[in-house]
Amino acid sequence: MNLIPRPTTGRGALLELVLIVALAIGLALLIQAFVVKPYQIPSPSMEPTLDVGQRVLVNRVIYHVRDPEIGDVIVFHPPAGAENGQECGIQQDPREACPEPTSDKSDTNFIKRIVAEPGDTLSIENGHPVVNGVPAKEDFIRPCRGGSGCNLPEEITIPPDHYFMMGDNRGSSDDSRFWGPVPRDWIIGEAFFTYWPPDRIGTL
C-alpha cells in the first residue's frame, strides 16, 4: 500500500523545520560531549607531529573499550600546577623524572603522547624514554638539545593506573618529566584525526 504524504500548512512546515534543526543541533552536541570532540593545538610541544593552531578530533569513548597504549596521542587533564609551570607532587631527585603527580587535577587540557604504562620502569636518555631498560625508537620526534629534561638516568616506576606522557618536541615540552604520570581517570580520549588546516588532513 502506498502512503500519500499529508499536506502541511506553511506554519506546520516551519515548525517541522525548526524541530529538525533543533534535533540536529542536539545530536551534534551529544556527539561532541560523549563521542568525538574537536580540539585546537595551543603550543609547539607536539611539533613536528602537530603544529600550533592545528585542529584534531578526539575519540572520547575508545578507552571504555580498550586500555590506553604506548604511542597513543591523547588529550587529558594534567595534575594541578602543571599549567603554571613545572610542579612535581613530591620532592624529586634531579636525576629522575617526576615519579608522582600532585593529588588534584587541573581544569585545563593538554595533548601529549603516552610513552610508558602502569608498572613500567622509566628513565630518559637524550630525550628518549627508556622503558623497562629498552630505549624507545622514535624517528618522529624533534630531538632534545639540552635542558633539564633531556637526560634523567635514575629509573622511576609508573604507579598503577597511571600513564607517562611526553610531547614530541622533546626540548620544548612541559610534560610528565616535570609534573609526573597521569591517572587514567584524567584521560579525556585519543586524538585520531587532524582536520585543519586542509594540507594536514589525515589520521594520527
What amino acid is encoded at 193 in this protein?
F
Please tell me the pTM assigned to this model: 0.84
Each residue's pLDDT tens digit, 90-144: 998 999 999 999 999 999 999 999 999 999 999 999 999 999 999 999 999 999 9
Residue 30 lies in a domain: no
Residue 63 lies in a domain: yes
Facing residues of 202 across strands?
194
Residue 1 lies in a domain: no
Mean pLDDT, rounded, for 174-197: 96
Residue 8 lies in a domain: no
Each residue's pLDDT tens digit, 90-105: 998 999 999 999 999 9
Whether the pLDDT of residue 173 is over 90: the answer is yes
Residue 196 belongs to domain spanning: 39-203
Residue 16 lies in a domain: no
Three-state secondary-structure class, residue 80:
coil
Whether the pLDDT of residue 76 is over 60: the answer is yes
- Give the CATH number for residue 162: 2.10.109.10
More confident residue, 170 or 34: 170
CA distances from 56 to 42, 128, 139, 196 (A): 11, 25, 22, 7
Q: Find cell 618522529 and name the residue.
A: 140
Reference 52, options 170, 171, 196, 176; nearest CA is 196
Q: How many domains does the chain have?
A: 1
| Exposure letters 185-201 (e unless 16+ CB within 10 A, then b) | ebbbbbbeebeeeeeee
Q: Any idea which residues carry the catalytic annotation? A: 45, 112
Segment holding 191, helix H or strand E: strand 187-196
Range of lowest pLDDT (7-11, 49-53, 119-123) = 7-11
Please report the pLDDT score of residue 35 as a whole number.
63
| pLDDT bucket at 148, cuts 50 / 70 / 90 | confident
Residue 94 lies in a domain: yes
